[in-house]
Structure 1
């Protein structure tokens, strides 16, 4: 894999005007934030070895690199998913490339179903822990031989969400008047939305939001030694007695919450040191 990462890095670096320090992965309906990047270089995923073109609506499949809120960033406009048939190693390969081109911090976002009846569509949740169910079942991005050049054999996941970015996120949200939820994100493999019995099970397990991405990306970022900050935009209420979720609802909720989510992320980016 090390050589594959070097191939991708070599395809990107000569095109850059800025070396990024922060990588962002923007989930369903949130990719428009990349339009605000200044002095941007935009590279389609098809031009980067090892990247795949997303087939899901709301994921444009571009890497935009430039300045956002004064911070040099590399922004993934969309991701490719495990449920599309890619392996966990393929899904997380872009995280390794972000690290290889200079990113020391990863901010990852997703659209998620809210498992708390007292929450609302449009709420933003900081991920303070995760349940990586496919990983627990053996679909893990670190499965197989470990290359020590990329990270340790047994990275610890306890405490990885409690870094110096957390108080910064809370401060920015407070100053902007944006209520910031905090909770546990659970990843299921998808692509079906959950049954009522599965939703009840997830609440018993302690999950506050559920989605189909993010957890393996966070694992690989930790393996690389990156700081991680994760957010879920609650785009539907995933409750056993609520109306069934649909992708159009997710996209609409992402569009409505775009201004406050963008303000939060830009406020955080402007203060990252």
Structure 2
């Protein structure tokens, strides 16, 4: 994706390609599956087609271990179709903000009215334990950028749709909520930075999601966000490593998959 390309036109081109390759004209909901959430693609419904990301305009093979690098079309029990985006682009990969939100814009162009965003993240609030899934109630975008261009003044009140959060809690009443913070990465935070985030109201910290959520709101989608707490944040436990994130994600996968299966069945 280059700066000269119209991002919405590219998203429509990608959506048309997905429809052609999967044989599914319209997808009703979309899910971006982050670290620990990938197994959900195997249980929420019947897989219709799996498409390597590089076959779809604007997508790239995932550069992050733990991400599938594919797009998957799934037929749900109610006859609707879900688009699974396993090829998330992160801001720290250097491909630009347009590439980061291309998956969300493609999902909207494919017909999805609901965007489910998931991630693996650090727990800033000590009330959240490693291995726990937490609903995102709001966010702090500390990336110093936005996916919106020009005089596009999009309201972000109730960005993470209360109706969908209520549905998620009906599927699993024990779910806690928290404010997610996105930083650019790829380095983890210092203990001083975590103290700062806690002071300004952050409860979960990661390197994705907020820019995607903003783009989804601009596209008119409802948004549901989940974080898997993979570790206590810096200064609250042992030194951090991506291997720890992957290990915690693998351990939590069965529970997270069942959680998303129950939530999606209620949408």
Which residue number corresponds to residue 162 of structure 2?
A: 163
The structure-2 alpha-carbon separation of the partners of 1:78 and 1:255, relative to structure 1 and needing over 3 Å to count, comes to farther
Residue correspondence of structure 1 range 120-199 to structure 2 within 5 A? 120-134=129-143, 137=144, 139-143=145-149, 145=150, 153-174=152-173, 179-199=174-194
Tell me if structure 1 keeps the 8 A contact 2:92–2:185: yes
**CA deviation after TM superposition for structure 1 residue 35, in Å:** 2.6
- The Cα offsets for residues 25-64 of structure 1, whole Å up to 9 and x where unpaired, read as 0002322222334142111110001111111100121000
Distance 1:252 1:15 in 2: 33
- The Cα offsets for residues 196-231 of structure 1, whole Å up to 9 and x where unpaired, read as 110100000100000000000000000000000000
* Most deviating of 221-230 and 110-119: 110-119
TM-score by length of 2: 0.92
Is 2:16 the partner of 1:10? yes
Which residue number corresponds to residue 251 of structure 2?
A: 256
Which residue number corresponds to residue 205 of structure 2?
A: 210
Tell me if structure 2 keeps the 8 A contact 1:28–1:78: no
Aligned positions, number: 258
In structure 2, the residue corresponding to 1:270 is in which secondary structure?
helix
Which residue number corresponds to residue 116 of structure 1?
A: 125
TM-score by length of 1: 0.90
Distance 1:79 1:101 in 2: 17
Is 2:238 the partner of 1:243? yes
Distance 1:3 1:231 in 2: 29
In structure 2, the residue corresponding to 1:164 is in which secondary structure?
helix
Which residue number corresponds to residue 225 of structure 2?
A: 230
Distance 1:68 1:54 in 2: 25
Distance 1:263 1:241 in 2: 29
Tell me if structure 1 keeps the 8 A contact 2:22–2:49: yes
**CA deviation after TM superposition for structure 1 residue 162, in Å:** 3.8
Distance 1:268 1:73 in 2: 13
**CA deviation after TM superposition for structure 1 residue 239, in Å:** 4.3
* Unaligned segments of structure 1, at least 5 residues: 147-152
Which residue number corresponds to residue 149 of structure 1?
A: none
Residue correspondence of structure 1 range 41-80 to structure 2 within 5 A? 41-68=49-76, 70=78, 71-80=80-89
Distance 2:63 2:199 in 1: 33
* Most deviating of 119-128 and 62-71: 62-71
In structure 1, the residue corresponding to 2:172 is in which secondary structure?
helix
* Unaligned segments of structure 2, at least 5 residues: 1-5
Distance 2:224 2:12 in 1: 25
Which residue number corresponds to residue 29 of structure 2?
A: 22
